[in-house]
Structure 1
Amino acid sequence: MIRYAAEPAYVLHARAWRETSLLVEVLSEHHGRVGLVARGVHGPRKQALRAALQPLQHVRFDAVQRGELAWLNAVEAIDVAARLPRDAALAGFYVSELVMRLAPREDPHAQLYALYGQVRGRLAGDGSLAWTLRRFERDLLEALGVGFDLSRDGDGDPIDPAARYRIDPEHGPRRSRIERDADRDRHASGRALLALAADHDQPPPVEDLSGLRRALREVLSVHLGGRGLKSWEMMGDLARMSAVPAQADDSVS
Structure 2
Amino acid sequence: MIAAPCPAFVLHSRAYKETSALVDFLTPEGRLRAVLRGARGKAGTLARPFVSLELELRGRGELPNVARLESAGIPYLLSGHALFSGLYLNELLVRLLPAQDPHPALFDHYAATLAALAAGRALEPLLRAFEWRLLDDLGYGFALDRDCQGQPVDPEALYQWQPELGFQPVTQQQPGLFHGGELLALAEADWGQPGALSAAKRLMRQALAPHLGGRPLVSRELFNNRKESRRD
Structure 2 unaligned residues grouped into runs of 5+: none
Native 8 Å contact 2:8 2:52 kept in 1: yes
Give the match for residue 158 of structure 1. 152
Q: Deviations over 1:215-236 (max 9, x none)?
A: 2212111012222221222233
Give the match for residue 180 of structure 2. 190
Structure 2 residue matching 1:87: 3-state secondary structure? helix
Give the match for residue 219 of structure 2. 231
Structure 1 residues 123-132 or 97-106, which shifts more? 123-132
Cα 1:100–1:242 shift into 2, 3 Å: same
| Sequence identity (%) | 37
2:210 is the counterpart of 1:222: yes
Compute the displacement of 1:75 (Å): 0.8
Structure 2 residue matching 1:167: 3-state secondary structure? strand
Structure 2 distance, partners of 1:240, 1:208, is 25
Aligned AA (2:6)? E
Tell me the C-alpha RMSD between the 2 structures: 2.3
TM-score with structure 1 length normalisation? 0.82
Native 8 Å contact 1:166 1:174 kept in 2: yes
Q: Deviations over 1:98-140 (max 9, x none)?
A: 1111111111222221221222222223332112111111111
Compute the displacement of 1:84 (Å): 1.2
Give the match for residue 67 of structure 2. 73
Structure 1 distance, partners of 2:216, 2:192, is 26
Compute the displacement of 1:3 (Å): 4.5
Give the match for residue 231 of structure 2. 243
Structure 2 distance, partners of 1:117, 1:125, is 12
Moved over 6 A (4+): none
Give the match for residue 33 of structure 1. 31
Structure 1 residue matching 2:101: 3-state secondary structure? coil
Structure 2 residue matching 1:40: 3-state secondary structure? coil
Aligned AA (2:189)? D
Structure 1 unaligned residues grouped into runs of 5+: 245-253
Structure 2 distance, partners of 1:61, 1:51, is 14
Aligned AA (1:228)? P
Q: 2:125 aligns with which of 131, 135, 147?
A: 131
2:29 is the counterpart of 1:61: no
Q: Deviations over 1:195-214 (max 9, x none)?
A: 332234x4543x44333312
**May I ask how many residue pairs the two structures share in their alignment?**
232
Q: Deviations over 1:172-195 (max 9, x none)?
A: 223344536xx3xx3344343223
Structure 2 distance, partners of 1:122, 1:192, is 25
Compute the displacement of 1:51 (Å): 3.6
Aligned AA (1:40)? G
Q: Deviations over 1:76-115 (max 9, x none)?
A: 1111222112111111111111111111111122222122
Structure 2 residue matching 1:156: 3-state secondary structure? coil
Structure 1 distance, partners of 2:182, 2:231, is 26
Aligned AA (2:137)? A
Q: 2:79 aligns with which of 85, 101, 107?
A: 85
Cα 1:151–1:101 shift into 2, 3 Å: same
Structure 1 distance, partners of 2:160, 2:227, is 23
Structure 1 distance, partners of 2:137, 2:145, is 18
TM-score with structure 2 length normalisation? 0.88
Q: Deviations over 1:54-95 (max 9, x none)?
A: 112221111113222120011111112221121111111111
Structure 2 distance, partners of 1:118, 1:192, is 26
Structure 1 distance, partners of 2:115, 2:154, is 32
Compute the displacement of 1:38 (Å): 0.8
